[in-house]
Structure 1
Amino acid sequence: MSSSPSLESPLSNAPAAKGGRYAALPRLAGTSYIPLGLFARVPLAMLTIGVLTLITTASHSYAIGGFAAGAVGIGAAIGAPVTGYFADRLGQKRILLVAAVINALLVSAVVVLAYTLLPEQGASVSDPATLTVLATALLSGASSPQVGPLSRVRWMAMSKKLPAKEQGPLVDTALSLEGTADEITFVLGPALVGLLASLVAPWLPLVLAAAMTLTLVTMFALHPTERVVGARPASTTVGNTGYVSAERPNWFLVAVPVAAMVCMGAFFGSSQTALSAFTGVYGSVDQAGLMYAIMGASSAVTALSVAYWPTKFSYPWRWVLASGLMAAGAAMFLVPASLGQMAWVLLLVGLFVGPTMVTIFSVGSVVAPPQWMGTVMTALASGIVAGTALGSSIAGALAQDQGYHTAFIVPIVAASTLLVLGLVAAVSLRGRLKRDR
């Protein structure tokens, strides 16, 4: 075996149980892959709140700032599946390299245009200059490199190098780790933006995000694990994760987890917005982010636990259990009358959020047509983005007109819909999701 760095080394030593399931992951992918995959997705987590902060400061308009942040979300929701499609067809490396350069340029352009085109006072959403900034923000979201979803595709491809009985546990472990990485970065990203913007300047978080995208995403694109997900034409029977397609794709089965991710996003967006209204009554609106991080922390911890759930506990019924407990916990949002009480509720609800999200990704990984794996993984991620925008807007309108109690109905409905979709998955996928262990 060659001593030069290559994918052959980590894969050939893959894994046995020694050191535990999570210890097997760096032996499979290489020691640099996990931290690289974690930090390479931080710029995306910084983008929305960074654009909101910068544009609001530059224009002195919360409305324009909100529209700009919304444009980033819409762009990401549209662009993510497109990125996944081309990654399936052309290979991840070239798509990620192109996306890293384009996105870094567009994010930098948002900074420049914000300070050159937006007046300090009196800016209007309909002004040509403002529309130019909003269009650039939309394109920056659309070009965001989809590190998280494409990393999941790589793990599924690498699992095919293992004996059949080890593939299922490896995928469970990897997807649990990926879910935790998402939770960490979407807590770390906004916190980093707030710290840099308040201590230095509102433009610094976006400049840093552009630099991180250019360097870290490029490193991720060139990492040796990319070799297992080479380009595949759409007509091939072997997808870029090594699966062999034995039947025609059933797009209804794909639509169920995608719809669930929209609901998951709606839960995130509405609960964060309703929580802002709640903290405005019982404390300060500025405390909403810290309170929301409590749910993210407990969610990240329990997402890791999914790797150790019984292998005979099928994905659809995991989904039903986790989302059912999540819906029951969400109903508790209506009870607290102080920040301390709400903190305990958030801690409780978060325990079930992580396993639900990891399980839905697992279902998506099984039902996705093999030659469309990257497309489906990015569609799941974009579902979260689209749902977050939808949930935030509905809960925001309800909070403005009727108060936080009514706004909290939105995350309760979203979690309950997740339970219904879980039952649909359990019925529709019965007998299909038998995993080789």
Structure 2
Amino acid sequence: MAITPSTDISPAPAVKGGRYSVLPRLAGTGYIPLGLFARVPLAMQTIGVLTMVTGVSASYAVGGFAAGCVGVGAAVGAPVIGFLADRLGQKRVLLVLAVVNALLLAAVVLLSYTILPAGGNGPADGGTLAVMAAALLVGATSPQVGPLSRVRWMALSRKLPAKEQGPAVDTALSLEGTADEVTFVLGPALVGLLASLVAPWLPLVIAAAMTAVLVSLFAVHHTVEAVGPRAAASTVGNAGYVAKEKPNWFLVAVPVAGMLAMGTFFGSSQTALTAFTGVHGSVDQAGLMYAIMGLSSAFTALSVAYWPEKFNYTWRWVVIAGLMAAGSVMFLVPESLGQMGWVLLLMGLPVGPVMVSIFSVGSVVAPQQWMGTVMTALSSGIVAGTALGSAVSGALAQSSGYYAAFLVPIAAASTLFVLGLVSVVVLRRRTAR
């Protein structure tokens, strides 16, 4: 099927029957909820490790470093997983990861409760290092359901007439962005509920079970046949967004850097919020509090598909990230859990649209033959940033309190705004050529 090349970075027009009606027709009605719930364990891992290790070690710094190890592992492992999936097929890779990752999650729990020293002895302790090594492997083997699902949508869109391929991929990316945001609600909420009502270890045990079952089901879903071995590198294009061209990794680096800043915002706000709840309540409540921001974020992410077409991706990034940067200062105001709840609700409003916009920019600048790799790199940027934010914010929380820790998400949101301005400049130059 021929693909019409284009360099336009404005949102694609809606397809007949509504923006989202084409997606179940392409993948089946069961694929969308499966793709959603199969990524929930990944959203539980970082904050689950943070909550459990902080509680066991009595150290925000150790908890932050352990959570950071999960992110570092995922950032390094995700591109490798994408590479292997392109060449060996998603099914085989995901089935292996479902088992290995579940076992490693169980190992983190076991090590934390048997050899992790209490009292905050620091990350250099032997027992702490063992837990961090296990956490690193958990991240490295995390099944990358989100980016691999995006690759499937791009392949499935090739079944449509050429003029419908672009709108279908655009809609699918919006849905995937919303799914990511929904998991940021479900993951922390499950961690908060299970940790506070039962025990801090239970969320990670549940995550292990969900990984083994749901990722395996995702691996064998019939949509995997659309992306056979080597398909992502050779046949899965980006549905007409860009012409065939040599990779321009400088352009790709802009949205990847944006996702790095976004991840830093996530990781640092999670850790700072854990410190905040430790002062004004209990660290076990951090997941529930963080879920408030994810709830409003998911709602606005879903609305992006209906925004005016003239409000293109790059300017969406700039305007909404500007609001996000200005609003992040509110993190310094609350002095109770109730006040922080309102701040988190408001802060979530710009987060979802910024994420969707950055993924959309990534789909525009990605070379056809590297679309799967770029999608994985964008997701890796989030988890790498989460690791960075967790580590820095955790250290500041331990040494100076939660006020200092909240300076990190403020800086991350400001950086996100600056990168949005960069995206406007570099993409304008690209389309002018």
Deviation of residue 259 (structure 1)? 0.5
1:349 alignment partner in structure 2: 347
2:384 alignment partner in structure 1: 386
1:44 and 2:42 are equivalent in the alignment = yes
Alignment of 1:117-132 (within 5 A): 117-118=115-116, 126=124, 128=126, 130-132=128-130
2:254 to 229, 253, 256: 256
CA distance in 2, matches of 1:57, 1:274: 15
1:29 and 2:30 are equivalent in the alignment = no
Structure 2 gap segments, 5+ residues each? 1-13
CA distance in 2, matches of 1:118, 1:348: 37
Q: What RMSD, in angstroms, separates the aligned Cα atoms of the two structures?
A: 3.1
2:218 alignment partner in structure 1: 220
Q: 1:166 to 1:310 in 2, by over 3 A?
A: farther
Letter in 1 for 2:95: L
Cα contact 1:76–1:143 (8 A) shared by 2: yes
- SS of corresponding position for 1:22: coil
Normalized against structure 1, the TM-score is what? 0.84
CA distance in 1, matches of 2:150, 2:100: 23
Deviation of residue 335 (structure 1)? 4.5
CA distance in 1, matches of 2:61, 2:424: 43
Structure 1 gap segments, 5+ residues each? 1-14
Q: 1:246 to 1:406 in 2, by over 3 A?
A: same
1:17 alignment partner in structure 2: 16
1:310-343: CA deviation from partner (whole Å, max 9, x where unpaired) = 2333221221122122222223434455555443
1:151-178: CA deviation from partner (whole Å, max 9, x where unpaired) = 1221222223223433333233222222
Cα contact 1:169–1:311 (8 A) shared by 2: no
CA distance in 2, matches of 1:61, 1:345: 26
Cα contact 1:228–1:240 (8 A) shared by 2: no
Q: 1:182 to 1:125 in 2, by over 3 A?
A: same
CA distance in 1, matches of 2:50, 2:226: 38
Q: 1:400 to 1:197 in 2, by over 3 A?
A: closer
Alignment of 1:300-379 (within 5 A): 300-336=298-334, 339-379=337-377
Deviation of residue 291 (structure 1)? 3.3
- SS of corresponding position for 1:134: helix
1:87-121: CA deviation from partner (whole Å, max 9, x where unpaired) = 22333222212221221232233344445555789
Bigger Cα displacement from structure 2, 379-388 vs 258-267: 379-388
1:8 alignment partner in structure 2: none
CA distance in 1, matches of 2:154, 2:416: 25
1:81 and 2:79 are equivalent in the alignment = yes
CA distance in 1, matches of 2:399, 2:199: 34
Letter in 2 for 1:31: T
Letter in 2 for 1:389: A
Letter in 2 for 1:347: L
- SS of corresponding position for 2:371: helix
Q: 1:272 to 1:48 in 2, by over 3 A?
A: closer
Letter in 2 for 1:101: V
1:184 and 2:182 are equivalent in the alignment = yes
Normalized against structure 2, the TM-score is what? 0.85
Q: 1:395 to 1:194 in 2, by over 3 A?
A: closer
Deviation of residue 240 (structure 1)? 5.9
Cα contact 2:177–2:355 (8 A) shared by 1: yes
CA distance in 1, matches of 2:324, 2:310: 22
